[in-house]
Amino acid sequence: MATMATLSWSEWIAALFRIVCDTLFQRFFARHVPSRVSLPNLAHPTVMVTGATSGIGLHTAKALALSGAHVILAVRNIKAAKDLISLWEAERPQGTPPLKCEVMELDCLSFDSVRKLGETWEARKLPLNLLINNAGIFCMTESQKFSKDGCERHMQVNHLAPALLTVLLLPSLARGAPSRVVMVNSIMHYLGSVEPINLNMKDSGRTFHSTAAYSASKLAQVMFSNLLQRRLPKEGGIDVVCVHPGEVKSQVARSLPRLIQWAYMKLFFLFSSEEGARSVLFCATDKEVQGHARRLRSLGYPLAPYFGPDLKIWSVAKQALNMERAHLLWEETLKLVDLPADCIESALTDSI
């Protein structure tokens, strides 16, 4: 049985050093990236973006919609999403077709909500060309809390819910092939440690820290994505890509004192949400990204491609390379979200 893969002090310091350096110098390393990624005409693709009412998700969905894509905003706040679509419609260049946007409810803290979305979309038997799993949380400084499903909330929102949604939408993604799944990840996974048989960190004997929980959830997402990319058939035309969009000014500091929140938003080296969306849009639309994913798969490479905010391939944390632990995590993930062991094969059969 696998034991907890904790980092040694030297490994933890090395990971922290990398994260700090990436944060401080990300603007320098991404200086070649244009302020806005040039998107092709997207009149035909159908795209689903989770967490599309704020931050990176908002700017990602907006850019795709204004480029002509049929965009499904999968969100908790239906009214906020509809208001955003109205604002985007007002920004639409004169003479261009109306935006093709719709809103569907999704609460990642509820597996019932995830299943309802997946089943509702699948009932329409429409193709899906792109799924962007962007929704995520980082409850900085807060105590450990669990969802009504009994799962630690970082692990559920950042890993378990996206995993469940992705599997439920595989039939639609197969119909839309060539298609891709983009997992919005974080370099914070370098600090992550996961115990596959205790993803919820219950009774682990360790003091709970929100940073550790967030890092663990992002590591779990990478490990699951690696195996999903390996298990999807080459001829199926579905690829999985992970991306770290950079350190972005977001709502993670909202639980901190107002003075610290103000100082946080003034940090010049952090990306804006629009800047953070650039690498997500690149992974979602650039042909070379899917080509790279398929080359890796043809070579038997065990990992899904991982891109950074500089639009280049990045290496993942060594913890993510442990295939034995990844397989255990895969099994526990399916158990927690109540999916059968043959869910991939069944989903792809349903697409026919």
Catalytic residues: 214
Question: b vs e for 243-276, b when ≥16 Cβ sit within 10 Å of the residue's Cβ?
Answer: bbbbbbbbebbeeeeeeeeeeeeeeeebbebbbb
32's enclosing H/E stretch is none
Q: Residue 203 has what DSSP assignment?
A: T
CB 200 within 8 A of CB 154: no
306's enclosing H/E stretch is strand 306-307
Q: Please compute, for residue 34, the number of CA atoms within 13 A of its CA located in the half-sphere on the CB side.
A: 6
What stretches of 77-200 show up as alpha helix (H) in DSSP? 78-91, 111-123, 153-155, 161-168, 170-175
CB 351 within 8 A of CB 172: yes
Question: Rounded to an integer, what distance in angstroms lies between the CA atom of residue 162 and that of residue 156?
Answer: 8
Question: Rounded to an integer, what distance in angstroms lies between the CA atom of residue 267 and that of residue 193?
Answer: 28
